[in-house]
Structure 1
C-alpha cells in the first residue's frame, strides 16, 4: 500500500483563510473520491505555524496548528504550500522562516504558494530565476522587489508536471481561488485526470479554467492627483463609451494636440489613448454581462464595440474567453 503523502500548509496571523482551506479541501476531496472507489486515502493534511497557539486569519476565524514549522523535517513532506493574506509583510521579515523555507526547498517534492504567498517565497530567494505569478494586485510589487523572478502576470498558476510551461518543483498561483486550480492540477498529476475531474465536479469547479487572471481584475480610473492633465477627460469617458472616441475627438475634449495627448497618456497611464478606451469599453461590457442587463449584441452597441464580433475579439485578446462564456460563468 502506498504511503500517505503529507501536504503541509503554512499558517500565520492574518493569513487569508480561503488560501488555506481551498487547496486543502481539494486534497481532502481527492481522498473521499479514492475511498468511494475502494482505495485508501493518499493525502495527510496538516497546518504548520510558528507557535502551537491557534492562529487568527484575516477573517477572524481561528485555525489550529498541528506542528510548529521549526519541528518539521521537510524531507518528510510531499508538498508544502505557502498561502497569502494581510500578514504576508510580517512573514517576509521573519529571517528564521525564510531560512527554513530555503532549507526546505531542495528537500520537499513540491513547494508552492497561493496568492500573495509568492512574496514570501520570493523573499526567501527560492523564486529567483523561476517563473512566478501572484494576485494581480501584487504583481507589480513582486516584479519591482524581486527582479530576478520571471513574473507572469496573467497566469492562474505556474505548475507544470512536465517542466515545460512551468515548474513541477517550485510553483506559484494567482489570487485566492487560483489556489484551488493549482491543487486540482497537483491532484491530476498524482492521481490522473479522472480523479481530478471527479473532485472538480464535486466542488463545482472547472478542472482547467479558460483564460488568465486578468478576467477577474478591473481597469480602475486613477486618482485625479496622479493624472492631473487627464483627470477631466478620464472622468468624461465612461458616460460616452458608445460615442466616437477617436484620437481627434479625445484631443479636442482634453484641449490638447493629438500628439501631445498620446504622449501624456503613455507618461501618466503607461498606455496610449486607444488602448485605454478599449480597456474601458471592455470593463463596461464585463459589468453589463455580469449583471445580465442586456444581450451580447446590445452590450456591444452600448459600449462602443458596434458589432458583437468586435466584442468577441477584444474578450479573447484580453481575457481568453468569449463574451458568451464570460456571461455564462459570471452572469
Structure 2
C-alpha cells in the first residue's frame, strides 16, 4: 500500500510501506513435493484467519499456491494439490511472504533454469522468502543463500553442504528472526517437514503477536513455541539405523548389546575387549560400521534413550540419568542443552505423556 503525497510543511513525500491487509502468502510447489511442506505452514495462516474471524476481526492472510505451471501437482504421497498460478503469470507485486516447499522432486526442479530465474527475480520483490525442508536446496541453487545461515532436513546436510558461502546450521528448526539478531528477516530456511509449521508460527507471531500465535498453536494442538535455534528432533539421533552392511559381525553384535546396557560403564577399553580387538582396531572398524566414533555413538544412544523415558512424563530426571548411564543429572542436562538446546525438565514438560506435567494442549475450540 503506497500513500504518497505532498506534505509541504515537512517538505517530504512519504511512502507507507506497511504490509497490505490481508497479507498475501504464497507457497511454491512442484511435482513430487512433500504435501505437508505445503499444507502444514499454510494451515497455520488459514487457522489464524479463523481465529481472527471468531474475534470479529478481518482475515490476516490471503493464501495462494504457485507452481511451474498452473493446475494439479502430484505430491510424493500421490495426493494432488492445485497450483493457482504458474510462475510465468504469477504477479509478485504486493506479496508479503513466499515459501518454497521441499520434497523428492526438489532435485529435478532445481535443474530447471526457468524456475531458478523466476526465484532470482521475485526475491527482491517479496518482503519475506523462506524455504521448508529441502526447499533450501532450490534457494541455494538460485544463489539466494550465499552468506546466510542455512538449515534444512538433517538427511540433506551433505547436499546443502556442497554449496559454497553458506553458514550451515543444521541443528536449527529455522533461521527466521524478525529482529535480524538471531536470524534473517528476509531470506530464511527451515528444517525437516514439521519445522515448516514452527517457521509459520514464528512468522505469525511477528505479524500478529504472541497471543495470536498461541491461539493458533492451541487450535492445531501444537507445542508453542519451539525456538528456531532448537535442534531437530529426528531419526539421526538414533544411530542403530546407520549400520554398514559389510560391518564386522563382532561390531554388529555389540550394537545390538549396547541399548540394553546403557547404565553400565561403556569405556573404550571395555568395548574393545568385548569385541576381542585392540582399541585402535576397534575404533577403526566401529567407525566403518556406523560412521561415528564409539564415544559419539554411545552418547547418541544415551540421549535417545533419555528422550524416550522423558516422553512418559512419569520418571524423575535423576532416575532417567541413572538408567541411561549419566553419572549425574547435571551431565544429562549438559547433553540436552548441547544437542537439543533445552533442559531435560523443559523437554519433559513439552513432550511428556499425559501422566506427566506436560500433557497435550487443549484445542481453543
Residue 257 of structure 1 is matched in structure 2 by 278
CA positional deviation for 1:271: 4.9
In terms of fraction of residues, the more helix-rich structure is: 1
Q: Deviations over 1:73-111 (max 9, x none)?
A: 223321111011121111111111011011111111110
Residue 163 of structure 2 is matched in structure 1 by 146
What TM-score do the two structures reach when normalised by structure 2? 0.81
Q: Which has the larger radius of gyration?
A: 2
Distance change in 2, residues 1:240/1:42 (3 Å): closer
From 205, 208, 222, the equivalent of 2:222 is 205
From 332, 343, 347, the equivalent of 1:311 is 332
Tell me, in whole angstroms, the C-alpha distance in 2 between the residues paired with 1:232 and 1:256.
14
- Write the mapping of 1:137-176 to structure 2, written as runs, cut at 5 A: 137-143=155-161, 145-176=162-193
CA positional deviation for 1:309: 4.0
Q: Deviations over 1:163-192 (max 9, x none)?
A: 121101100111111111111111111122
| Mean CA deviation greater in 9-18 or 302-311 | 302-311
| Residue 100, structure 1, aligned to residue 100, structure 2 | no
Q: Deviations over 1:16-73 (max 9, x none)?
A: 1111111111111222233333332131100111223311212222212211121112
| Residue 7, structure 1, aligned to residue 22, structure 2 | no
CA positional deviation for 1:250: 1.6
Give yes or no for contact 2:247–2:285 (8 Å, CA) kept in 1.
no
Residue 279 of structure 1 is matched in structure 2 by 300
| Residue 53, structure 1, aligned to residue 71, structure 2 | yes
Give yes or no for contact 1:131–1:150 (8 Å, CA) kept in 2.
yes
Tell me, in whole angstroms, the C-alpha distance in 2 between the residues paired with 1:305 and 1:279.
12
Tell me, in whole angstroms, the C-alpha distance in 2 between the residues paired with 1:248 and 1:223.
22
Tell me, in whole angstroms, the C-alpha distance in 1 between the residues paired with 2:285 and 2:244.
14
Give yes or no for contact 2:244–2:288 (8 Å, CA) kept in 1.
no
| Residue 78, structure 1, aligned to residue 99, structure 2 | no
Residue 135 of structure 2 is matched in structure 1 by 117
Give yes or no for contact 2:231–2:339 (8 Å, CA) kept in 1.
no
**Aligned length in residues:** 330
Give yes or no for contact 1:224–1:231 (8 Å, CA) kept in 2.
no
| Mean CA deviation greater in 195-204 or 134-143 | 195-204
CA positional deviation for 1:244: 2.0
Tell me, in whole angstroms, the C-alpha distance in 1 between the residues paired with 2:79 and 2:71.
13
Tell me, in whole angstroms, the C-alpha distance in 1 between the residues paired with 2:319 and 2:180.
44
Tell me, in whole angstroms, the C-alpha distance in 2 between the residues paired with 1:310 and 1:295.
15
Q: Deviations over 1:200-234 (max 9, x none)?
A: 22222233215723433333233234654844543
For the aligned residue pairs, the C-alpha RMSD in angstroms reads 2.6
| Mean CA deviation greater in 294-303 or 91-100 | 294-303
Tell me, in whole angstroms, the C-alpha distance in 1 between the residues paired with 2:54 and 2:144.
38
Q: Deviations over 1:97-150 (max 9, x none)?
A: 01101111111111000011111111111111111101111122211x213221
